[in-house]
């Protein structure tokens, strides 16, 4: 990767690597071969969970454990990490095998989310915990600022949809898997959400059935006029 391209990404991240090889490895998907970002992803996953848990613990001193767990899950879920990846325009920097390139892997939520976790792991190895904590908190700052332990928005879409329907004595949604594509290690689930009170079904996609169901439920909420 050319030095000017690396510098461009580092400006987006707000961090300059001493060891550029760590960043290159964090951007290398397993489709490129055995030397890839999976180990950094494993490390970054643990680190981001800790840093966000710590931030929430400080931000909500009166919150119960269950409330903090739900907030953390919302912050570190794949969809949120992929949003960060898109903000950094990581798709322009990922190193993918030919198969992933042809299938548009640089746009895939799971690949973007994994790369963000890998970059977090790489920053930790390159500079230590304090610097890593500072960077991660800055990336999540605006998202953390709008959180509330009592806000209905903090509940996941499936829960909000179910509560909305139950309050109005409507039939609960039916979630149906319509397709599963991709390799066994990198599947994409497509789920249909069927509602009696809507004239059309909604579709959701994700790297897991649960994630696809959440996306389908979110679209159903929007059609019902219920938005965060």
pLDDT in tens for each of the 228 residues of the chain? 567 888 889 999 999 999 999 999 999 999 988 999 999 999 999 999 999 999 999 999 999 998 999 999 989 998 899 989 998 989 899 998 888 777 776 778 889 999 999 999 999 999 999 999 999 999 999 889 878 877 555 577 888 898 889 888 889 999 999 998 877 666 788 999 999 999 999 999 987 888 889 899 999 999 998 765
Q: How many CB atoms lie within 10 A of CB 16?
A: 13
What are the counts of helices (DSSP H) followed by strands (DSSP E) for the chain? 10, 3
In whole angstroms, give the CA distance from residue 56 to residue 144.
Answer: 8
Residue 81 burial class via C-beta count within 10 angstroms: exposed 0-12, middle 13-18, buried 19 and up: buried
Residue 169, Ramachandran bin (φ over 0: left; ψ between -120 and 50: alpha; else beta): left
The pLDDT value recorded for residue 228 is 56
The pLDDT value recorded for residue 160 is 85
Q: How far is CA 223 from CA 34, 80, 199, 220, in A?
A: 44, 22, 10, 5
| Catalytic center residues | 45, 117
In whole angstroms, give the CA distance from residue 41 to residue 38.
Answer: 5
The pLDDT value recorded for residue 53 is 98
User: Please, are residues 204 and 215 in contact by the beta-carbon 8 Å criterion?
Assistant: yes
The pLDDT value recorded for residue 116 is 97
CA 217 from chain center: how many Å?
Answer: 17
The pLDDT value recorded for residue 103 is 74
Tokens at 12, concatenated: 């987006």
The pLDDT value recorded for residue 159 is 84
Q: Does pTM surpass 0.85? A: no
The pLDDT value recorded for residue 114 is 95
């Amino acid at each position: 990767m050319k030095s000017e391209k690396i510098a461009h990404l580092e400006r987006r991240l707000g961090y300059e690597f001493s060891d550029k090889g760590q960043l290159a490895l964090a951007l290398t998907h397993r489709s490129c071969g055995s030397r890839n970002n999976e180990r950094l992803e494993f490390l970054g996953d643990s680190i981001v969970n800790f840093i966000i848990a710590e931030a929430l613990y400080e931000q909500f001193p009166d919150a119960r454990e269950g409330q903090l767990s739900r907030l953390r899950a919302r912050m570190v879920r794949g969809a949120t990490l992929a949003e960060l990846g898109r903000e950094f325009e990581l798709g322009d920097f990922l190193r993918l095998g030919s198969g992933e390139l042809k299938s548009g892997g640089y746009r895939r939520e799971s690949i973007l989310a994994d790369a963000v976790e890998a970059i977090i792991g790489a920053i930790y190895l390159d500079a230590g915990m304090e610097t890593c904590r500072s960077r991660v908190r800055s990336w999540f700052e605006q998202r953390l600022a709008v959180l509330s332990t009592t806000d209905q928005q903090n509940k996941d879409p499936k829960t909000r949809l179910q509560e909305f329907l139950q309050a109005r004595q409507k039939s609960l949604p039916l979630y149906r898997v319509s397709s599963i594509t991709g390799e066994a290690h990198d599947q994409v689930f497509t789920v249909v959400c069927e509602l009696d009170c809507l004239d059309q079904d909604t579709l959701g996609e994700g790297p897991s059935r649960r994630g696809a169901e959440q996306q389908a439920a979110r679209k159903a909420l929007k059609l019902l006029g219920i938005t965060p």
